[in-house]
Structure 1
């Protein structure tokens, strides 16, 4: 029996009812032949990995022969490179200041952020929701159309599925008890146009906000949902199928990797795997 199947035998009546609400059918697969135990990693929709954009190559100065004695002195170098070099520390300092913000100041900074082009098309920034001292923190990818309209993460069909998953774990985004609540945030705080994949530069610009949210919540556990959340937190290009089933860490906090609820709506066969990931989270 695999780790993904064992949980079925350990469910009580309440959890079985919650799983039924999630649409997870409870059955045990037929025993696999011994030769089939070494399977390939779980498939998932292909996409470009999230990687930091490479720095532009340094341009070496060309060597020129010494000027003739009668040649006039050369003009002073253009000031543009000096101005560009001086501007970089200011940008870095502005990003570093995020690490000192409290909750009200952080929310205000996100609401007024213009660090990337997503600010031009958004309706609302999507900051986060839930208990600010919750034991669990849910990290998603980016706002969609409903999130952009309401200014709250995980609403609509994906949000309803997430709420059902949390109820099956005895948790809620609206609970007043830290031990029974969650704090939910996304890697990106603004919706990419037409729900396209986040661009690497957009992820890099937004990461300091998420890092500060994690530092303020101080969660006991993080559940990363979706490829871009996983790759942003763990700094890896590995697919989710190869990262599931073990505990990772972000800034010393245990991280469980699982599928995004929107993906589960498109691929309901993987709901059982997502429940196995939540069982691992509850065991931490």
Structure 2
């Protein structure tokens, strides 16, 4: 318990440091820093791309329509927002919600890696291309790697990296949504828990051409 309290305290300090961050030009146009929210001792850590309009205004990550879909996906595996930790790669909203620039990702990555180090989740679910490429250290797109778990090390801890489609991308694409739902249904297995309806969520077989599950990714603070 003391360790949990200590890590939660360190996470608050990290949030205070991020609130005054000016490592890139995004600091000039933000309403506020969107650091992260949820259980500081969560087993599941979900990483999105960057704050959008609603996140910038509310200060909370992954809200709006995409957030509502995420809430439904979490409920389907017996979880709620209070049970997980949510954050984005970028802590400030890019103007007009454009794609993050490489320099912005590099500037903000230490904040995210520190969050993962302090929360110590069992599974880090990277939502979409930006989070997946950063945390995997590879340029493979999410279409190719979604639903395929691999091992990574962050802050000396061995974790599972689990790439998923971003809920925002699946909102208006039924086929992508079905795949996201199927991939999400595997999360309880990765967490070591029993799925609410195991019969409805058969394990996803890895593609023989690319056995990424055996690959170890080493992450460190920049």
The answer to whether structure 1 residue 228 and structure 2 residue 136 are counterparts is: no
**Structure 1 runs (4+) greater than 4 angstroms displaced:** none
The answer to whether structure 1 residue 109 and structure 2 residue 11 are counterparts is: no
Q: Where do 1:246-265 residues align within 5 Å?
A: 246-251=148-153, 252-265=158-171
Alignment partner, residue 212 of structure 2: none
SS in 2 for 1:161: helix
For 2:119 and 2:17, locate their aligned partners in 1 and report how far apart those are by CA, in whole Å: 17
Note the C-alpha offset of 1:255: 1.2
Note the C-alpha offset of 1:239: 1.1
* Contact 1:234/1:249, CA 8 A, preserved across alignment: no
1:136-173 CA-to-partner distances (Å, cap 9, x unmatched) read 00111100000000110011111101001000010011
Alignment partner, residue 184 of structure 1: 86
The answer to whether structure 1 residue 239 and structure 2 residue 141 are counterparts is: yes
Note the C-alpha offset of 1:268: 2.5
| Structure 1 gap segments, 5+ residues each | 1-100, 175-180
SS in 2 for 1:249: strand
* Contact 2:52/2:93, CA 8 A, preserved across alignment: yes
Q: Computing the radius of gyration over CA atoms, which structure comes out larger, 1 or 2? A: 1
The answer to whether structure 1 residue 169 and structure 2 residue 77 are counterparts is: yes
Alignment partner, residue 129 of structure 1: 37
* Contact 2:126/2:161, CA 8 A, preserved across alignment: yes
For 1:219 and 1:207, locate their aligned partners in 2 and report how far apart those are by CA, in whole Å: 17
SS in 2 for 1:118: helix
SS in 2 for 1:256: strand
* Contact 1:141/1:188, CA 8 A, preserved across alignment: yes
Pick from 85, 97, 105: which aligns with 1:203? 105
| Structure 2 gap segments, 5+ residues each | 1-8, 191-222
TM-score normalised by structure 1 residue count? 0.61
Alignment partner, residue 142 of structure 1: 50
Alignment partner, residue 173 of structure 2: 267
Higher normalized strand content (fraction of residues): 2
SS in 1 for 2:13: helix
For 2:151 and 2:49, locate their aligned partners in 1 and report how far apart those are by CA, in whole Å: 18
Note the C-alpha offset of 1:247: 1.1
TM-score normalised by structure 2 residue count? 0.78
Tell me the C-alpha RMSD between the 2 structures.
1.2
* Contact 2:46/2:85, CA 8 A, preserved across alignment: yes
Note the C-alpha offset of 1:250: 2.8
SS in 2 for 1:102: helix
Alignment partner, residue 83 of structure 1: none
SS in 1 for 2:92: coil
1:28-63 CA-to-partner distances (Å, cap 9, x unmatched) read xxxxxxxxxxxxxxxxxxxxxxxxxxxxxxxxxxxx
1:227-278 CA-to-partner distances (Å, cap 9, x unmatched) read 1010111111111121123212231210111110110113222111011111
SS in 1 for 2:168: helix
